[in-house]
Chain A
Amino acid sequence: MNESRPSWFERQFIWVHARRTAILFLMAALMVAAIVGMGCLPFSNSVDVMLPDGDARNTIRFLTEASLADKVVISLENADPTLSQEDFVREADRLATGLHSPLLEPLDTGAAATGMMENFTQLLGCAPQLFTTRDLAAAEAAVTPEAIEQSVRTLYGDLAKPSSIFTGKLARHDPLGITRSILGRLERLSAANLYDVTLEDGHLFSCDRRHLLLVFTTPVPLTDSTGSRNLIAHLDAECARLPAAVRADVVCGHLHTTSNERILKHDIERISWIGAIAFLLIFTGVFRDWRSAAMLGVPVCTAFLALPLAALCHSNLSYIVIGFGMVIVGISSDYGIYVYVMTRRSGQPAQAVRNVVRPMGLGMLTTLAVFIAFYFSGIEGYRQLATFAVFSITMAYLASVFLLPHLFGDKHAQRPDTASASEPASAPTPVRHPRARAFATGLLLVMGIAMLSRGVFNTDITQLDGTDRRVLDAETRFEKTWSAGGSEQGILAVTGSTYDEALRRSEIIYDPASEKLGNRLLSFSILWRSESSRTANLARWRDFWTPERVASVQAHLLESGKRHGFTAAAFQPFFDQFHEVPALREPADNALFKLIKDRFVRPSANGFTVFSFFPDTPECTSLMTSLAKTVPGAFCVSRRLLTASLAASIEHTLCIVTAVSLTLVLGLTLLLSPNWRLALIALIPSTIAVLWALGIPALLQHTLNICHVTAAAVVFGLCVDYGIYMTYGLTHGMERQSKTTIILTTATSIIGAGVLLFTEHPVLFAIGQTLTVGMLVGHVTTIWAVPALYALWGQPTKSSKRPAECLIS
């Protein structure tokens, strides 16, 4: 039959054979192009690709881009008691001067302090626009003759206070405290420091005066790797000039950018060298055959080709994907090894490949199934990884099946011949103590469950951040030194296409929220409102201050003032304001207003964002979140929300990835296995491997994160391959070849994953740890337990169909 009508596989095999040289040259050329083009690929060092889509990722991005982007803060410590305060300050000034450059601009905070009184007075002139219903009630109470008398008496009393030098001038503009609420609002917004600083001699000191703070702004975006490196180099160079007695802790987002990138690049370089050496050693040491180089060459080549293809499918590629490259090489080299082992003693390599193409394909599909499940993870980093893996593994499989046999046994590869098989089938080797082994397998399963039950999932995203320990330590010291001991702050961001729309939306949330949160809520709406609100306030002011009322108040004020020794002109500035026509305009040129506005309002890509701040407590965060949902363009950002969002996302990811990968892998295994018992036996190593892969970190008291979970899914897909190869070998009398294959493929896969144990980045390390443990356990279980289980329950009965007939049609 086969002689007269070649199968599809045979036709393709022959077609490739005829063009093998051209194909090899083409692959080599493409690989060279891919290597050369690597420099042009859009790689990203951001850790947020490893965060689930949605709230968590948006939160991190928002915090990174909106709040931290342009600030560099340096905390200086006088670490030597013999260094005088003057010398300490001198060193700080010298550092500030040295840092001042196009990259770093000292924060200009003196504008409002200079001309503060003028700014205050000018803002009081905006009282008509800020005259709320509450102010109206207070004003009505303040203009009675009794209240006026009381106000003047209080004013006189205030002159005895040292603060009268400041308050005396303000009193002339508002003796009755009509605009006092505006001052209160300004005080709330300006005194809301979350950090302990005292201003002394024009410098910011900590309470113990041993620390001094320098604040800069920088035009370098966080996403600019080169700019960030230059900025950090500039900071390092200037800080290095400080004497040993002065220690500098720099806090800025750019340190995270450069640190993550440096560690990832260093990790990739390190694992590439270690992996390359390990692979070469194993291939040259074990096979001692020049052709084995092709086995290594194929997965390396396909990995390089897969990178640009993956980059085409995504806007950028995380460095973490490259870090995973060695794992992919380890996985995809399995097919070459399988083909090599099956063909090296065969007089007809093509025939040998034809016999194993189906179990190899099943193994590839189960592995791909896991990576395909990553598309449902909701994590961009895993989607990138999946694309890279799918391209790489598929190409490696096809190259192993159609190309490698021509290199291994060229002269026999022209026409597959079913008559001559590779090696004669042999009966399975008798298994000693199969029941004891089965019992031990059960024990491994129970131990895995017990270990995993101790596992604790951690949703803290700092676990995914590979930033240098020194940077994190500096931030911890900074917080310890400067923290005012306040609670964490949550942020309400309200966006609008126009400034006025953002203001209007902000006050829709602020009004009900302030009813419950009071002074704990800080918002720009405390001071400034949308145009419609200010128009209403203005009308309210005009209605209240009728000429008759102004005249009456003036008469009473003069009378009371005279009684307490005030001159007739003392309160003239107060009355002058009623002769002016109040205008509906923002005091944009007022330095004080500008400073406050800059803190609470920022232009964004789609308009404006107005920020409010609230304590990140369950009560406040819940209230603000529920209110934010009622207003378009509003959302809350807080550590509490972030943690909750991450926990929910991880749970979702865990469920989806597990469900999809289990369905695909189980479905494929059951569908393509000769019977359900063999399928279950093939699945046992992967099940135990997953339990141990997650259980060992738990046993070591490492908290589990999303990387462990997704790596465990990969373990499942890979170890299913081992189970399939082993049951295939047992059912086809090829147990020895299967064992050899499994040992070699496990070795390469473990090298690929094990090199990640040499990495510093927590994401790569967690993946490496899970994969290495999982594959080791999966390997041992496959070699040691599957033959025993097969001997006990997998042997074909007389009535059952022959496995070979099912697996290889």
Chain B
Amino acid sequence: MKPVSLAAAFCFGFSFLATAGEPEVAPQVTERLRQLESKLATVQTLKVNFVQEKQMAILEQKLVLKGRITLQQPDKIAWRVQSPIRYAMVIQGATLRQWSEETQDVQQFSLTGNPVFATAVKQIQSWFSGNYLALTHEFNVSLLAESPLAFQFTPRAGSPAREMIVHIIIRFGADERFLKSLEVVESGGDTMRIIFSDTTLNPALTKEEWNPRHE
């Protein structure tokens, strides 16, 4: 019985798994990403402020959000929006918690057993943690500028991201140890730009940083 039910249950669980693909990235770009990753690997913790500008077809005006990102390798990230509304999302391992000013509730989700959700969260972590080589399975990467360093990630044919994203551009500061900006052009024409500032590398982080209600 065991093997029978085991495999039946297992196969039952697959529904939204993405196709894998061989990376199609130029060797010099791969090498540059590798160098970048090794620099970013020296950053174990990070605090950075951001300004997010969203140009959306459904809004009359540009939406500007301000907030802070806190990161701790390998699997903790906190995304806090402080204005014009307050919102927080904290990812710790396989758990995602979010809080909003409006509901005042902390919602918790488990990424276990939900490959789609887990994949989306993993991608968010990858963009900010600097695991760019891992993203080459879903994106073609081109080097836009060497100094300051900039890459363009374009979703590959067949990848789930292609349906929503035209491309993503990431730019780095002079020391190449964290992002300076991230731009997303969506397939519907909407755009999003995040500009990072006041970056603190390897700060000491308290436990409270991972509390979604934390200011």
Contact = CB atoms under 8 A, between A and B. Distances in A.
A and B interact physically:
yes
B15 A599 contact: yes
Q: Taking each of B12, B89, B100, which has the highest tally of chain A beta carbons within 10 Å of its own beta carbon?
A: B12
Contacts of B145: none
Contacts of B148: none
Contacts of B102: 153-154, 157
A571 B58 CA distance: 8
A266 to B, nearest CB: 21
A73 interface: yes
Nearest to B59: A565
Interface residues of B, number: 68
Contacts of A115: 163
Contacts of A160: 65, 81, 85, 87
A199 B113 contact: no
A121 to B, nearest CB: 11
Contact of B56 (A159, A196, A198): A159
A231 B45 CA distance: 50
Contacts of A117: 163-164
Contacts of A153: 102
Interface string B57-89: 111110101000000000000010100010101
Nearest to A92: B20
Contact of B58 (A68, A73, A172, A256): A172
A200 B122 contact: yes
Given A67-B4, A200-B134, A253-B7, A567 B15 contact: no
A381 B96 CA distance: 54
A193 interface: yes
A616 to B, nearest CB: 9
A595 interface: yes
A26 interface: no
A215 B4 contact: no
Contacts of A482: 10
A123 interface: no
Interface in B86-103: 87, 89, 94, 98, 100-102
Contacts of B85: 156-157, 160
A162 B14 contact: no
Contacts of B11: 67-68, 71, 73, 215
A639 interface: yes
Q: Taking each of A160, A169, A196, A639, which has the highest tally of chain B beta carbons within 10 Å of its own beta carbon?
A: A160
Interface in A35-61: 60
Interface in B106-141: 111-120, 122, 124, 134, 137-138
Contacts of A488: 5
Interface string B132-165: 0010011000000000000000000011101111
Given A153-B102, A165-B192, A198-B111, A116 B160 contact: yes
B203 interface: no
Contact of A196 (B59, B113, B160): B113
A805 interface: no
Interface in B1-27: 1-22
Contacts of B112: 193, 196, 207, 484
A71 B13 CA distance: 13
A107 interface: yes
Given A201-B134, A251-B3, A109 B16 contact: yes
A203 interface: yes
B190 interface: yes
Contacts of A93: 20, 22
B87 A565 contact: no
Nearest to B137: A201
A204 B118 CA distance: 11
A190 B134 contact: no
B20 A478 contact: no
B173 interface: no
A697 to B, nearest CB: 23
Given A67-B11, A475-B2, 20 more contacts: A60-B4, A67-B4, A109-B18, A110-B18, A114-B158, A115-B163, A159-B63, A160-B81, A161-B89, A165-B164, A191-B113, A193-B13, A193-B115, A194-B13, A195-B10, A196-B112, A215-B14, A251-B6, A471-B3, A486-B113
Interface of A: 60, 63-64, 67-68, 71, 73, 93, 107, 109-110, 112-118, 153-154, 156-157, 159-166, 168-169, 171-172, 189-204, 207, 215, 251-253, 256, 461-462, 471-472, 475, 478-479, 482, 484, 486, 488-489, 491, 565-567, 569-571, 592, 595-596, 599, 613, 639, 642
